[in-house]
């Protein structure tokens, strides 16, 4: 018997007396209306900084968040109009780890926003890029459209594609490991800005 056969035959023996499985009650809340103010409140509560501006003002907003000459990692599909001329863009054409790690920030779009939990979800689409891009720079600017925001976790999962690599981000990197107090800033980006478009 190989390991697979051993494990499976043990488990089969363990459930051999089981009857048919019971029904799963799913009377929890789903498909609720979206409240953008709640998203803003909950993002802010976990120390993300939120900027509500029209799309035409994205570049100016980004310019205000980074010093002139700052290097910014850019996923391949990011709308060029979102970047101000004041920053040095590093388009990801296979950037190596050292260059990503040395950048001052990264600008991406998002796939979904979750109002209840103050979460943005990235799914690796061209305007969000590889997972590493939003991991190593210390500052992440994420542009989210109102139409991408859903009320809760069930609605978010319904919009996402499991086969894509997904990163759910709720505020900057944090830890509760020291006396169970939330402290921002461990290994991921220590600063998270969300630019929320109408």
Q: Which stretch binds another protein (CB under 8 A): 49-57, 61-69, 105-113, 124-132?
A: 124-132
**List of residues 6+ apart from 5 with CB closer than 8 A:** none
Q: Number of residues interacting with another protein: please give it, by CB under 8 A.
A: 77
Residues 129-188 that bind another protein (CB under 8 A): 130-132, 135, 152-154, 157-158, 162-188
Instruction: Enter the tokens of residue 28.
Output: 């929890």
Phi, psi of 11 (to 5 degrees): -65, -40
Which one, 37 or 179, has the nearer CB to another protein?
179
Which one, 84 or 152, has the nearer CB to another protein?
152
Out of 2, 54, 69, 80, point to the residue binding another protein (CB under 8 A): 2
Q: Which of 194, 198, 196 is nearest to 169 (CA)?
A: 194
Residue 5 beta carbon to another protein: minimum distance, rounded to whole angstroms: 7
Q: Are 182 and 48 in contact (CB under 8 A)?
A: no
- Contact characters 80-109, another protein, x per CB under 8 A: -----------------xx--x--------
The H or E element spanning position 122 is: strand 119-122
Distance of CA 38 to the CA centre of its chain: 17
Residue 54 beta carbon to another protein: minimum distance, rounded to whole angstroms: 28
Which one, 13 or 56, has the nearer CB to another protein?
13
Q: Are 149 and 115 in contact (CB under 8 A)?
A: yes
Distance CA 191, CA 141 (A): 8
Residues 32-51 that bind another protein (CB under 8 A): 42, 46
Taking the chain, what is the end-to-end CA distance rounded to the nearest angstrom? 60
Residue 165 beta carbon to another protein: minimum distance, rounded to whole angstroms: 5
Residues 16-35 that bind another protein (CB under 8 A): 17-30
């Amino acid at each position: 018997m190989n390991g697979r056969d051993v494990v499976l035959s043990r488990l089969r023996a363990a459930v051999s007396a089981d009857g048919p499985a019971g029904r799963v009650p799913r009377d929890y809340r789903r498909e609720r209306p979206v409240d953008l103010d709640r998203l803003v409140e909950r993002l802010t509560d976990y120390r993300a900084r939120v900027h509500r501006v029209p799309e035409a003002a994205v570049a100016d907003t980004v310019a205000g968040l980074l010093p002139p000459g700052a290097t910014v990692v850019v996923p391949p599909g990011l709308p060029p109009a979102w970047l101000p001329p004041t920053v040095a863009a590093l388009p990801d054409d296979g950037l190596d780890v050292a260059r990503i790690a040395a950048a001052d920030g990264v600008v991406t779009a998002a796939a979904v926003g979750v109002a209840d939990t103050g979460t943005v979800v990235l799914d690796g689409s061209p305007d969000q890029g590889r997972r590493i891009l939003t991991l190593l720079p210390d500052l992440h600017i994420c542009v989210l459209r109102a139409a991408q925001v859903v009320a809760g976790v069930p609605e978010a999962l319904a919009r996402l594609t499991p086969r894509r690599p997904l990163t759910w981000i709720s505020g900057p990197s944090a830890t509760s490991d020291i006396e169970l107090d939330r402290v921002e800033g461990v290994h991921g980006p220590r600063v998270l800005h969300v630019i929320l478009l109408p």
